[in-house]
Amino acid sequence: MTQTVMGMGRRIAAYRKSEGMTAQDLAEDAGMSRSVIANIENGRRDDITVSELLAISRALRVPPVAILFDVNRPMAPVPAPGNEGDISFRPRAIDIVDWVAGLDGPSQWSHERLVMEEELARNGPATTSMGMVLEASYGDSGWSAIRLLMAGRQLRTATEDHAELVRDFALDVKTGEFGWEPALDEHLSIMREVQDLTRRESVTALEDFLTRVSEHNPGQLQRAQDAVHELRSSAQDLKTARGLLVSLGGDPSAHAHPTDEVGLPAFGYEEVLTMWTRMRSEYLKDQIEGGIDRSKYRTYDQIRRAIKSGKLKRKDG
C-alpha cells in the first residue's frame, strides 16, 4: 500500500460522497465492480490503470488530475515521480498538474528559466554542491509534444469559435434578420458554401446573398457585410490553425483512428451546444404546452437510479 494510492483513494471517496453517490453507484457508473472501488478507496490496491482512472473521473465528473493530485493544496510539494528516495527538488502540486496536462510551455516561463533549460538539455544534468541533480524538463520529443498540444488547443478554439459563428449566421439568414428571408433551396446553397469556406476559393453564394440583402433592405447591407467578413476571417483562422498543426507533424482530422478505443464522447463542444440548445427548446415547448415529464430530460443513469430508489415510477406500457 503506497501513500500515493492511499491519497488517491481518499480523494475518490471524498468526491464520491460530495456527489451524493454510494460506492455501488460509482461502480455501476464507471463499469467496475464494487470490490474494485472499495479496494482503491481503502488503499488495498497498489495501482490503478489509466482506463480505470478515466472511467472513475467521468463517473464523478472530476478531472483526472484532481484525483491524481491534491488540488486542495496546490502549493504543497509532492514527491517527484520515480525519485521519492532521491535528493531532488519537490515540485508543487500545481506544477505537477501542469506537467501532466502538458501546460508547462515556454510562454509561461521566464527568460532565465528558458536559458537554464536549454543549457541543461545541451550539456546534460548538473549536480549542485547540495547534491541536487538538475536536468532539463523536456527533450526533443517532449518539446515536440508540447508544441503539438499547444497547436491542438488553438485548433480546438478556432473550430468551436467558427462553428458558433456558422450556427448564428445560419439562424439569422433563415429568419430574415438581414432584411431578406431566403427560400429553402437558397438557404441551403448559402449554408453549403459557408461550411466549405476553409476549403474553397469561390464565394459566389455569399456574394449573391449580399446582393439580395442590398436589393431587399439596403439598410441592413453593412450588417450583412460585417457578418460575412467575420465568417471569412474566422474560416481563415481555422485554416491557419490546421496548417500549424500539420506543419508540426500533427493530423487535424476529426476522425478517430480505427484502432483507437472510444471511452469518452467524441463530440466537440460546438456539437454538444447544438444538442443542448435543441433539448432546451423541446423542454420549453413541453413546459408551455403543459403536462411536462421532467424525467425524460434526465440522463439514463439518473433515471435508472431514480427508478431503483423509488423516486421515479415506470409508466405502464
CA distances from 41 to 16, 26, 44, 124 (A): 10, 11, 8, 41
CA distances from 5 to 67, 154, 211, 232 (A): 10, 34, 66, 51
Give the amino acid at 93: A
| pLDDT tens figures, 105-139 | 666 678 888 889 889 989 988 988 887 888 888 88
Distance CA 215, CA 186 (A): 15
| pLDDT tens figures, 40-93 | 999 888 789 999 999 999 999 999 999 999 999 998 888 765 555 555 567 888
pLDDT value for 131:
79
Same domain for 304 and 243: no
Same domain for 275 and 194: no
Distance CA 173, CA 205 (A): 13
Return left, alpha or beta for 27; rule: phi > 0 is left, psi -120 to 50 is alpha, else beta.
Answer: alpha
Per-residue pLDDT of the chain (317 residues; tens, 9 = 90+): 344 566 899 999 999 999 999 999 999 999 999 999 999 999 888 789 999 999 999 999 999 999 999 999 998 888 765 555 555 567 888 888 888 888 876 666 788 888 898 899 899 889 888 878 888 888 888 889 989 999 999 999 998 899 889 888 988 998 899 998 888 888 888 888 887 776 655 567 788 889 999 999 999 999 999 999 999 999 999 999 999 999 999 999 876 555 554 444 556 777 777 777 777 777 777 777 776 676 666 565 666 666 677 666 655 43
pLDDT value for 45:
86
Q: H or E stretch including 134?
A: strand 133-134
Q: Which residues make Cβ contacts (< 8 Å) with residue 163, sequence separation at least 6?
A: 268, 270, 271
Distance CA 248, CA 151 (A): 8
Q: 9: which 3 cell numbers? A: 483513494
pLDDT value for 9:
93
Whether the CB-CB separation of 125 and 135 falls below 8 Å is answered with: yes
Q: Which residues make Cβ contacts (< 8 Å) with residue 196, sequence separation at least 6?
A: none
Query: Alpha helix locations (H) across 34-183?
Result: 34-42, 50-60, 64-68, 93-101, 111-123, 140-174
Return the SS3 of 100.
Answer: helix
Same domain for 240 and 188: yes
Name the domain count of the chain: 3
Q: Which long-range contacts (CB under 8 A, 24 or more apart) does 100-106 make?
A: 100/65, 100/68, 100/69, 101/65, 102/145, 102/146, 102/149, 103/149, 104/137, 104/146, 105/146, 105/149, 105/150, 106/146
127 phi and psi angles, rounded to 5 deg: -105, 125
Same domain for 242 and 284: no
Return left, alpha or beta for 268; rule: phi > 0 is left, psi -120 to 50 is alpha, else beta.
Answer: beta
Distance CA 50, CA 230 (A): 42
Task: Examine residue 213 and state whether it is found in any structural domain, yes or no.
Answer: yes
Task: Examine residue 193 and state whether it is found in any structural domain, yes or no.
Answer: yes
Same domain for 229 and 169: yes
Task: Examine residue 187 and state whether it is found in any structural domain, yes or no.
Answer: yes
Q: In which domain, by residue range, is 302 found?
A: 269-309
Question: For the domain that residue 22 is a member of, what is the CATH number?
Answer: 1.10.260.40
Same domain for 237 and 153: yes
Q: H or E stretch including 229?
A: helix 221-247
